[in-house]
């Protein structure tokens, strides 16, 4: 119930996802992931209960062993394959993470650019250079924002 309330609150606050900020986007992702899990568990419970009750009509109390056996089989299958699933998850997360060396290079480039802009600000104004630099930086900012938003939308 509380997750539906949080979901409704975000939907109202963001005007049905038209004005989502990054915090709300992340919270929406977490809430929907949790709701998917809760719905899967609820469906599994109800389906197993119904199937067991239906089979108990034909097989008496032994009919309840069928859904229990299916659950046990899937649990053992998960335990048997858990390490492979965890390793696969770490591989996927490793592909998404930043390379520290590349991140350091980008930070160094940004520092050098900031120093150059500081030196440019101390020199006499050159009419055409500053608007060109501003346009290049705005283009960079726009492309980074579009890429960030595209990655965030894919993760949702």
Is the predicted pLDDT of residue 60 greater than 80, yes or no? yes
116: Cα separation from own chain's centroid: 37
**Token pair for 30:** 């977490």
Is the predicted pLDDT of residue 155 greater than 50, yes or no? no
Average pLDDT, the chain: 77
Give the number of C-alpha atoms closer than 13 A to the C-alpha of residue 93, restricted to the C-beta side. 6
- Which run of H or E residues covers position 22? helix 22-59
CA-based torsion, 78, 83, 84, 88: positive or negative? positive
- Best CA proximity match to 24, nearest among 36, 46, 9, 3: 9
pLDDT bracket for residue 97 (50, 70, 90) = low
pLDDT (average), residues 85-90: 79
The per-residue pLDDT for 20 is 67
Q: Is 100 helix (H, G, I), strand (E, B) or coil?
A: helix
The per-residue pLDDT for 116 is 78
pLDDT (average), residues 105-126: 75
Rounded CA separation 117/136 (Å): 13
pLDDT > 70: percent of the chain? 79
């Amino acid at each position: 119930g509380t997750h539906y309330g949080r979901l409704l609150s975000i939907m109202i606050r963001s005007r049905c996802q038209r004005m989502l900020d990054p915090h709300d986007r992340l919270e929406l992702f977490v809430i929907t992931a949790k709701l998917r899990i809760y719905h899967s568990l609820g469906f599994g419970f109800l389906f197993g209960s119904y199937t067991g009750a239906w089979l108990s009509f034909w097989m008496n109390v032994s009919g309840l062993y069928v859904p229990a056996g299916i659950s046990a089989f899937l649990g053992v299958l998960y335990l048997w394959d858990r390490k492979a699933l965890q390793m696969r998850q770490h591989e996927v997360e490793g592909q998404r993470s930043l390379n520290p060396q590349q991140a350091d290079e980008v930070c160094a480039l940004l520092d050098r650019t900031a120093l150059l802009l500081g030196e440019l600000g101390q020199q006499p104004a050159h009419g055409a250079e500053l608007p060109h630099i501003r346009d290049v930086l705005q283009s960079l900012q726009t492309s980074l924002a579009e890429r960030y938003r595209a990655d965030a939308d894919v993760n949702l």
